[in-house]
Amino acid sequence: MTASPLAARQATLGYGRTVISEDLTVEIPEGEFTVIMGPNACGKSTLLKALARMLKPSIGSVLLDGKDIHSQPTRAVARRLGLLPQSPIAPDGITVADLVARGRYPHQGILRQWSADDERVVAEAMRATDIADLSGRGVDELSGGQRQRVWIAMVLAQQTPLLLLDEPTTFLDITHQIEVLDLCAKLHREGRTLVAVLHDLNQAARYATHLIAMRDGAVVAEGAPADIVTAETVEQVFDLPCRIIDDPESGTPLVIPSARARDRV
Protein backbone atom coordinates (compact mmCIF):
# COMPACT_ATOMS: atom_id res chain seq x y z
CA MET A 1 0.00 0.00 0.00
CA THR A 2 1.25 3.49 -0.87
CA ALA A 3 2.10 5.55 2.19
CA SER A 4 -0.36 8.35 2.95
CA PRO A 5 1.07 11.78 2.05
CA LEU A 6 -0.90 13.40 4.88
CA ALA A 7 -2.10 11.93 8.17
CA ALA A 8 -3.15 12.72 11.72
CA ARG A 9 -1.86 10.27 14.32
CA GLN A 10 -3.52 9.92 17.74
CA ALA A 11 -4.17 13.65 17.69
CA THR A 12 -5.98 15.69 20.32
CA LEU A 13 -7.37 18.82 18.66
CA GLY A 14 -9.13 21.82 20.10
CA TYR A 15 -9.09 25.51 20.93
CA GLY A 16 -7.74 26.56 24.32
CA ARG A 17 -9.33 24.31 26.91
CA THR A 18 -12.07 23.17 24.55
CA VAL A 19 -11.24 19.73 23.13
CA ILE A 20 -12.90 18.84 19.83
CA SER A 21 -11.22 15.50 19.05
CA GLU A 22 -9.16 13.06 21.08
CA ASP A 23 -6.94 10.23 19.87
CA LEU A 24 -7.90 10.99 16.27
CA THR A 25 -6.11 9.02 13.55
CA VAL A 26 -6.85 9.78 9.90
CA GLU A 27 -4.99 8.76 6.74
CA ILE A 28 -5.52 10.76 3.55
CA PRO A 29 -5.17 8.37 0.60
CA GLU A 30 -2.91 9.59 -2.17
CA GLY A 31 -4.55 10.38 -5.48
CA GLU A 32 -8.11 10.41 -4.10
CA PHE A 33 -10.74 13.13 -3.74
CA THR A 34 -11.50 12.83 -0.03
CA VAL A 35 -14.54 14.57 1.43
CA ILE A 36 -14.95 15.00 5.19
CA MET A 37 -18.62 15.10 6.13
CA GLY A 38 -20.69 15.21 9.30
CA PRO A 39 -23.11 17.41 11.27
CA ASN A 40 -22.30 20.93 12.41
CA ALA A 41 -19.63 21.19 15.12
CA CYS A 42 -18.50 17.58 14.65
CA GLY A 43 -14.85 18.51 14.05
CA LYS A 44 -14.66 18.54 10.23
CA SER A 45 -13.05 21.95 9.83
CA THR A 46 -10.93 21.43 12.94
CA LEU A 47 -9.45 18.31 11.36
CA LEU A 48 -8.83 20.14 8.08
CA LYS A 49 -7.10 23.00 9.92
CA ALA A 50 -4.85 20.48 11.66
CA LEU A 51 -4.01 18.80 8.35
CA ALA A 52 -3.26 22.23 6.88
CA ARG A 53 -0.84 23.16 9.72
CA MET A 54 -3.17 25.91 10.96
CA LEU A 55 -3.82 24.09 14.24
CA LYS A 56 -1.23 22.15 16.21
CA PRO A 57 -2.36 19.05 18.10
CA SER A 58 -1.89 19.29 21.87
CA ILE A 59 -1.19 15.55 21.81
CA GLY A 60 -0.18 13.43 18.82
CA SER A 61 0.96 14.70 15.46
CA VAL A 62 0.14 15.54 11.86
CA LEU A 63 2.50 14.01 9.33
CA LEU A 64 3.30 15.35 5.87
CA ASP A 65 5.29 12.85 3.80
CA GLY A 66 5.97 10.91 6.99
CA LYS A 67 7.45 13.85 8.93
CA ASP A 68 5.84 16.06 11.57
CA ILE A 69 4.32 18.94 9.62
CA HIS A 70 5.22 21.45 12.34
CA SER A 71 8.91 20.54 12.17
CA GLN A 72 9.09 21.42 8.46
CA PRO A 73 9.88 24.89 7.06
CA THR A 74 6.83 26.95 6.14
CA ARG A 75 7.85 27.38 2.50
CA ALA A 76 8.56 23.65 2.14
CA VAL A 77 5.06 22.84 3.41
CA ALA A 78 3.53 25.45 1.10
CA ARG A 79 5.20 23.81 -1.88
CA ARG A 80 3.52 20.51 -1.01
CA LEU A 81 0.14 21.61 0.31
CA GLY A 82 -2.29 24.30 -0.82
CA LEU A 83 -5.22 25.48 1.32
CA LEU A 84 -8.47 27.24 0.45
CA PRO A 85 -9.84 28.35 3.86
CA GLN A 86 -13.44 29.21 4.68
CA SER A 87 -14.56 32.63 3.45
CA PRO A 88 -11.11 34.01 2.49
CA ILE A 89 -10.84 37.80 2.34
CA ALA A 90 -8.94 39.54 -0.45
CA PRO A 91 -6.98 42.77 0.17
CA ASP A 92 -8.91 45.89 -0.84
CA GLY A 93 -8.50 46.83 -4.49
CA ILE A 94 -6.42 43.81 -5.51
CA THR A 95 -6.88 42.54 -9.06
CA VAL A 96 -7.53 38.94 -10.03
CA ALA A 97 -4.09 38.53 -11.60
CA ASP A 98 -2.33 39.95 -8.55
CA LEU A 99 -4.21 37.70 -6.15
CA VAL A 100 -3.50 34.58 -8.20
CA ALA A 101 0.16 35.62 -8.42
CA ARG A 102 0.37 35.44 -4.63
CA GLY A 103 0.21 31.67 -5.03
CA ARG A 104 3.80 31.82 -6.26
CA TYR A 105 5.06 33.12 -2.90
CA PRO A 106 6.37 29.71 -1.71
CA HIS A 107 8.60 29.57 -4.80
CA GLN A 108 10.16 33.01 -4.27
CA GLY A 109 13.26 33.79 -2.26
CA ILE A 110 16.34 35.95 -1.99
CA LEU A 111 17.96 34.18 -4.94
CA ARG A 112 14.78 33.52 -6.87
CA GLN A 113 12.56 36.42 -7.85
CA TRP A 114 9.56 36.64 -10.21
CA SER A 115 10.28 34.88 -13.49
CA ALA A 116 8.77 34.04 -16.85
CA ASP A 117 7.98 30.60 -15.42
CA ASP A 118 5.95 32.22 -12.63
CA GLU A 119 4.07 34.24 -15.24
CA ARG A 120 3.30 31.06 -17.19
CA VAL A 121 2.07 29.20 -14.11
CA VAL A 122 -0.26 32.06 -13.12
CA ALA A 123 -1.67 32.23 -16.65
CA GLU A 124 -2.23 28.46 -16.69
CA ALA A 125 -3.98 28.59 -13.30
CA MET A 126 -6.34 31.29 -14.56
CA ARG A 127 -7.08 29.35 -17.73
CA ALA A 128 -7.74 26.16 -15.75
CA THR A 129 -10.30 27.97 -13.59
CA ASP A 130 -11.81 29.88 -16.53
CA ILE A 131 -11.00 33.33 -15.15
CA ALA A 132 -8.39 34.51 -17.66
CA ASP A 133 -10.77 37.15 -19.02
CA LEU A 134 -11.16 38.56 -15.49
CA SER A 135 -7.44 39.09 -14.87
CA GLY A 136 -7.57 42.90 -14.77
CA ARG A 137 -10.74 43.20 -12.71
CA GLY A 138 -10.89 43.86 -9.00
CA VAL A 139 -11.68 40.78 -6.92
CA ASP A 140 -14.29 42.75 -4.96
CA GLU A 141 -16.22 43.36 -8.20
CA LEU A 142 -16.83 39.66 -8.86
CA SER A 143 -19.70 37.34 -8.06
CA GLY A 144 -19.31 34.74 -5.32
CA GLY A 145 -18.69 31.95 -7.80
CA GLN A 146 -16.10 33.97 -9.69
CA ARG A 147 -14.29 34.90 -6.48
CA GLN A 148 -14.15 31.26 -5.43
CA ARG A 149 -12.59 30.37 -8.78
CA VAL A 150 -10.00 33.11 -8.25
CA TRP A 151 -9.05 31.69 -4.85
CA ILE A 152 -8.79 28.20 -6.33
CA ALA A 153 -6.58 29.60 -9.09
CA MET A 154 -4.30 31.11 -6.44
CA VAL A 155 -4.01 27.71 -4.76
CA LEU A 156 -3.33 26.10 -8.15
CA ALA A 157 -0.54 28.59 -8.78
CA GLN A 158 1.27 27.10 -5.79
CA GLN A 159 1.59 23.92 -7.90
CA THR A 160 1.07 21.65 -4.91
CA PRO A 161 0.13 17.98 -5.29
CA LEU A 162 -2.16 18.28 -2.24
CA LEU A 163 -5.16 20.64 -2.16
CA LEU A 164 -7.26 21.23 0.98
CA LEU A 165 -10.58 23.06 0.67
CA ASP A 166 -12.66 24.07 3.69
CA GLU A 167 -16.33 24.32 2.69
CA PRO A 168 -15.57 25.62 -0.83
CA THR A 169 -19.27 25.87 -1.76
CA THR A 170 -20.49 27.84 1.28
CA PHE A 171 -22.67 30.87 0.39
CA LEU A 172 -22.75 29.91 -3.30
CA ASP A 173 -25.96 29.27 -5.21
CA ILE A 174 -26.48 25.79 -6.65
CA THR A 175 -25.10 26.67 -10.09
CA HIS A 176 -21.86 28.02 -8.67
CA GLN A 177 -21.63 25.10 -6.23
CA ILE A 178 -21.67 22.66 -9.13
CA GLU A 179 -19.17 24.74 -11.10
CA VAL A 180 -16.70 24.69 -8.19
CA LEU A 181 -17.16 20.96 -7.56
CA ASP A 182 -16.81 20.17 -11.27
CA LEU A 183 -13.53 22.09 -11.21
CA CYS A 184 -12.39 20.11 -8.15
CA ALA A 185 -13.24 16.86 -9.94
CA LYS A 186 -11.23 18.00 -12.96
CA LEU A 187 -8.20 18.77 -10.77
CA HIS A 188 -8.51 15.33 -9.19
CA ARG A 189 -8.63 13.64 -12.61
CA GLU A 190 -5.45 15.52 -13.52
CA GLY A 191 -3.63 13.81 -10.65
CA ARG A 192 -3.99 15.96 -7.55
CA THR A 193 -4.95 14.67 -4.12
CA LEU A 194 -7.89 16.70 -2.81
CA VAL A 195 -9.41 16.95 0.67
CA ALA A 196 -12.60 18.98 1.11
CA VAL A 197 -15.13 19.65 3.84
CA LEU A 198 -18.68 19.60 2.44
CA HIS A 199 -22.10 19.86 4.06
CA ASP A 200 -24.23 18.48 1.25
CA LEU A 201 -24.39 14.68 1.51
CA ASN A 202 -25.47 14.13 -2.07
CA GLN A 203 -22.72 16.37 -3.46
CA ALA A 204 -20.19 14.53 -1.29
CA ALA A 205 -21.41 11.17 -2.58
CA ARG A 206 -21.35 12.35 -6.21
CA TYR A 207 -17.90 13.94 -6.26
CA ALA A 208 -15.79 12.16 -3.66
CA THR A 209 -13.84 8.98 -4.28
CA HIS A 210 -13.20 8.60 -0.53
CA LEU A 211 -15.42 9.72 2.35
CA ILE A 212 -14.63 10.34 6.01
CA ALA A 213 -17.78 10.56 8.18
CA MET A 214 -17.37 12.28 11.55
CA ARG A 215 -19.51 12.79 14.62
CA ASP A 216 -18.61 14.26 18.01
CA GLY A 217 -14.97 14.70 17.00
CA ALA A 218 -14.47 11.07 15.98
CA VAL A 219 -14.38 9.19 12.69
CA VAL A 220 -17.50 7.02 12.45
CA ALA A 221 -16.83 5.48 9.04
CA GLU A 222 -14.62 5.94 6.00
CA GLY A 223 -14.27 4.44 2.56
CA ALA A 224 -15.83 4.60 -0.89
CA PRO A 225 -19.13 6.55 -1.11
CA ALA A 226 -21.06 3.43 -2.14
CA ASP A 227 -19.92 1.75 1.07
CA ILE A 228 -20.34 4.71 3.42
CA VAL A 229 -23.54 6.41 2.27
CA THR A 230 -26.04 3.90 3.63
CA ALA A 231 -29.28 4.50 5.48
CA GLU A 232 -27.73 3.11 8.65
CA THR A 233 -24.63 5.32 8.53
CA VAL A 234 -26.55 8.48 7.61
CA GLU A 235 -28.90 7.99 10.57
CA GLN A 236 -25.97 7.20 12.86
CA VAL A 237 -24.03 10.31 11.81
CA PHE A 238 -26.82 12.84 11.18
CA ASP A 239 -29.82 11.43 13.12
CA LEU A 240 -31.62 11.47 9.79
CA PRO A 241 -33.89 8.56 8.83
CA CYS A 242 -33.63 8.19 5.08
CA ARG A 243 -33.72 5.98 2.04
CA ILE A 244 -30.78 5.57 -0.34
CA ILE A 245 -31.36 5.26 -4.07
CA ASP A 246 -29.06 5.45 -7.10
CA ASP A 247 -28.60 8.96 -8.46
CA PRO A 248 -30.13 8.76 -11.97
CA GLU A 249 -27.41 11.05 -13.36
CA SER A 250 -24.25 9.69 -11.73
CA GLY A 251 -25.19 6.30 -10.28
CA THR A 252 -23.79 7.40 -6.92
CA PRO A 253 -25.79 7.10 -3.68
CA LEU A 254 -28.62 9.63 -3.34
CA VAL A 255 -30.03 10.39 0.11
CA ILE A 256 -33.81 10.77 0.30
CA PRO A 257 -34.89 11.94 3.79
CA SER A 258 -37.83 10.03 5.20
CA ALA A 259 -41.14 11.88 5.27
CA ARG A 260 -42.14 13.22 8.68
CA ALA A 261 -45.21 11.75 10.33
CA ARG A 262 -47.36 14.82 9.60
CA ASP A 263 -46.45 14.55 5.91
CA ARG A 264 -47.90 11.07 5.70
CA VAL A 265 -51.43 12.13 6.78
pLDDT confidence tier of residue 10, bands split at 50, 70 and 90: very high
Report all structural domains of the chain as residue ranges with CATH numbers, in order of start.
6-264 (3.40.50.300)
pLDDT confidence tier of residue 4, bands split at 50, 70 and 90: confident
Task: Judge whether residue 44 has pLDDT over 90.
Answer: yes
In sequence order, the β-bridge partners of residue 195 are 34, 164
Least confident of 135-139, 148-152, 217-221: 148-152
In sequence order, the β-bridge partners of residue 219 are 214
Task: Judge whether residue 191 has pLDDT over 60.
Answer: yes
pLDDT confidence tier of residue 178, bands split at 50, 70 and 90: very high
Cβ pair 13, 55 in contact under 8 A: yes
pLDDT for the residue 1: 43
Question: Residues 228-232: contacts with CB within 8 Å, 24+ apart?
Answer: 229/201, 229/204, 229/205, 229/253, 229/255
What value does the mean pLDDT take over residues 155-170?
A: 92
Cα–Cα distance, 7 to 26 (Å, whole number): 5
Instruction: Give per-residue pLDDT as tens, 62-111.
Output: 999 999 999 999 989 998 999 998 888 899 999 999 999 999 988 776 65
Cβ pair 107, 135 in contact under 8 A: no
Task: Judge whether residue 58 has pLDDT over 80.
Answer: yes
Please report, rounded to a whole number, the percentage of residues in the chain having pLDDT higher than 70. Answer: 95
